[in-house]
Structure 1
């Protein structure tokens, strides 16, 4: 009997090998046989810090100041945030719109592709 590694995603021992890959029948996770290690399943992509880049490719972090690169209409409102507006103290959040900020006292969610680091 072969000694196959446990699944790194769900930690089940019922894995099998399919060509160059190991496969877990419980969670359907596949991983490379060469990259298999005995590390526990606690390290996952969800635990890693999220990296958000601005329109120029600079990394953004909580508390940074950014500048808008395009006029943006606020959804559900007739107002517009103008190009060149400086926004201070951003927060990185999960979801489609990565940036949570306050502009003129109004909370808005923004996409990082419309921002550049100040």
Structure 2
């Protein structure tokens, strides 16, 4: 018997089958077998909060930016983020002074 798939909504592996549906007791999400084939990666910030495209995040540590003499200071707000496809550890966004940033999620928290 194959192992149960991870939940496509929260990413946790505590799922079980109920007839033709898979159920996640942690978040309550129910899905069919066709959705379980390719679950999207869950992007989380440094505190474990789930990030989505369009969210606003705050930098939690001073960061050096390659190709720029201006560092990102702690508390810098990055608005309207974009998720990097198939990479849950990086996001794309712009600050007020630096455009085209790719940042690791471990240095960010959801605002």
- TM-score interval, smaller chain: 0.5 to 0.7
Q: Per-residue displacement from partner, 1:50-78 (whole Å, max 9, x unpaired)? A: 20110001100000001000011111222
The TM-score normalised by the length of structure 2 is 0.63
Q: Per-residue displacement from partner, 1:9-54 (whole Å, max 9, x unpaired)? A: xxxxxxxxxxxxxxxxxxxxxxxxx128xxx89953xx32220110
Return the index of the structure with the highest Cα Rg: 1
Change (3 A) 1:43 1:101: same
Q: In the alignment, is residue 35 of structure 1 matched against residue 27 of structure 2?
A: no
What runs of 5+ residues in structure 1 fail to find an aligned partner? 1-33
The TM-score normalised by the length of structure 1 is 0.59
RMSD between aligned residues: 2.5
User: Equivalent residue for 1:98?
Assistant: 90
Q: Which of residues 54, 58, 66 in structure 1 aligns to 2:45?
A: 54
What runs of 5+ residues in structure 2 fail to find an aligned partner? 4-32
Deviating beyond 2 angstroms after TM superposition, the runs of 4 or more aligned structure 1 residues are 40-44, 94-97
Q: 1:96–1:111: 8 Å Cα contact kept in structure 2? A: no
